[in-house]
Amino acid sequence: MYYKIMAVIAEPLGWLLTFLYSFIQNYGITLIVFTLIVRLCLYPLYAKQIKSTANMSAIQPKMKELQARYANDKEMLNMKMMELYKEEKFNPMGGCLPMLIQMPIIFGLFALLRNPLLYIDDPSMIIAVHESFLWIADLAQPDKWILPIAAGLTTFVSFQQTQSQQTPESMGQMAPMMKVMKYFFPVMIVWMGRTFPAGLTLYWFIGTGAQILFNLRLNKLRRRMKAEAELRQQKKI
């Protein structure tokens, strides 16, 4: 059952991986190119999620004001909230939808790169997944230290970038948990990277590295949107 569900996404990704390998003829470089293509395809979803988060931060003071004013009238509060969303052209589900779309893709990638031969029929890939790359003797076997540590470090930097653009107020009750996750998740990535095929860990390292570059761009976008929102508020006053 699990295989059939994952195959819906993993098999098309396997076709792309096989197609790239047929030209590149190096599995390590193919994984890097494959990772960058996937990340670039997901970039519009990341950008949409960042814009939604920025819009949420911009209208949060108004939301708090309404919550205080109608604390004892939930029906009126909901009505006023809907009016506020309409006035500000804000979709409360805007930040969730991109994440929901990304999750099946991420699970499919995980399944494909953990067990590529389950989803790829091309005989040439049977040997390809066992190729060496740089210091890694076999990409189908775990790399015990260098790649997992590199993946953990990029994960930490990515978390740091994201959290630096958020205030404790915007994270609310999630703030303590997010602070713990900033340290716990990279350690977990290192531990998992020491047991997973090096090809999967390479994907995570390159993908998270690309995410760091995306964050630099998206954080500039977030700051610009925040400045524009503050300027609009000043004009209204």
Q: What is the pLDDT of residue 167?
A: 54
| Tally of domains within the chain | 1
Q: What is the pLDDT of residue 158?
A: 83
One-letter amino acid for residue 148 of the chain: P
Q: What is the pLDDT of residue 1?
A: 63
Is-above-0.85 flag for pTM? no
Q: Which residues lie below 8 Å from residue 154, measured CB to CB, with a gap of 6+?
A: 205, 208, 209, 211, 212
Q: What is the pLDDT of residue 231?
A: 64
Domain ranges, residue 224 = 2-236
Residues of the chain with pLDDT under 50: none
Instruction: Classify residue 35 by its DSSP letter.
Output: H
Distance CA 184, CA 199 (A): 23
Q: What is the pLDDT of residue 56?
A: 64
